[in-house]
Structure 1
Amino acid sequence: MAGSITGQNGWSLSNGTAIVQSTVVQNGNQALEMSQATIMHDVSSSNSTLWIRFHARISEAPQNMPCETYPNISAAFFVGTNLNIIAYSNSIPVDLGVAMPTNTWTRFDLYCDYDLMVWNLSMDGTTIGADLPLCTSGTDVDTVMISSDDSSSSYIDQLDVLDHELATNAPDFDGDHIPDWWELRNFGGITAATASGTSSNSGMSFLETYIAGVDPFSHDPFVFTSPEAGQLVWESIPARRYDIQWAPNLTTNFISIGTVDWPDDHFSDATTNNAGFYRLRVSVQ
């Protein structure tokens, strides 16, 4: 709704001006315009991972450099007076050597891992800061904060804050179809996994274990149960599409009989076949 951001969708404004407007937008009908403002949104999750994606637009280089991060911030970055992206590694600001363009929309992706205590930062789908140590040792995430110290307007649009994988156009530095966050979490680096490499999971490749959502290092079979005739139930993985297929026997081709998208985790077969075989094929949405 056009007007102050205060109270809209759980956002609060601590200072300055932040309004929802429809003149400058990245997608859809509205975007947030900020000027010398700080906005915050509560986050509640028991998961140890966090994904944040948003689009931002600025008209000029900032006039001032932030002096320090706010207390208890785990991951933070800002745009410097030379337009370079500066990210915090521990509590130390590091110039990543990549400039944010002006007068155009730029997409940012953050991945925070509170098991490994590291985070990734990506710009327009390319990771520019990887395996950065979090600023604090705390593992409780309770707030997302966006701040603009300048009098000139900054714009924010298409903001997602999720405690599960955001797979669409996920940053993938080496282009192997395995996102950077998964390689970092499982192999310790964003280019450390070989997609075609054989995992310890029933001979599946590392790429296949990512798609299926199973452990690449141990036998972790995909759970697929049939509590009663024609009823299929499985453990659904975020950002996945499931193609349910059937064949009367294993010598004939399987045919697709339906598709299910996460978070749904079941399928009811309305046909009355006395016998046959089901197969589930998984793809990333």
Structure 2
Amino acid sequence: MTSRAPEPRRRRGDYGVDGDFAVVPARWQAVIVAAIITALTASAVREAVSGAPVGTVATGLLALGSALFVGSYLYTTLAGKFQVWAGIFGDFGLRGDERALDLGCGRGAVLLMAAELLPRGRVVGIDLWHADQTGNSPEATRRNAEREGVADRVEVKTGDITRLPFADNTFDLVFSNLVIHNIPAAAGRMAAIDEAVRVLRPGGRLVIADLLATHRYRARLLELGLTEVRRRNLGWRMWWGGPFFPTRLVTATKPF
């Protein structure tokens, strides 16, 4: 019997908000965005009162667009990514005894969904715990594992995904969600791809969701000899603010 995808609406952990908070904390980002939308809305009202239709339409559209951008972003980080990854994992037909690795696991949103599907397996999450998620820390991930009831099959490590501390051919499944693009140099991103392939067992699956350079990931995987290499758009549930910021998925299989 194959494993069934977990129900994405029953998450018990606290997974925070995805984003870059290294320079400006999340709270201040929220205040700034709210102030911008409020100012644009007030400007649209003033233009309407003064009888300036062009200004009213322009500022009104800016206010509406900003609100839709924020709404799309929050939907993706708080709900959409769970729905999308439930479908991705559900397509794999996992046996339930696999060993899996999450590259850049953060607070465990995707890591722990995988763990639910592997009652006889093991899931390892590795991260450098940068401020690309609110409250990002190994302690937060372990607390979420406890809340989701999967702590007995989850291991959390601190490490660099361009130099993975694992032996060759260790994992049946290697996956990553919106992480590799954070590596600043192209050489570093390719090193992360190479490392993911190195630790993947023959016959194992590699799954990478990311915002940028996914066509290069696909090309590199083909160079490395992987098979069933595919790339696709994950759709509106993983738009980071709108259709101009989509997430794409790259999947591949390591040959025997």
TM-score bracket for the superposition, by shorter chain length: under 0.3
Higher relative contact order (CA 8 A, sep 6+): 2
Say which one has the larger Rg.
Answer: 1
Instruction: Specify which structure has the higher proportion of strand.
Output: 1
Q: TM-score, normalization: structure 2? A: 0.25
Q: TM-score, normalization: structure 1? A: 0.24
Instruction: Specify which structure has the higher proportion of helix.
Output: 2
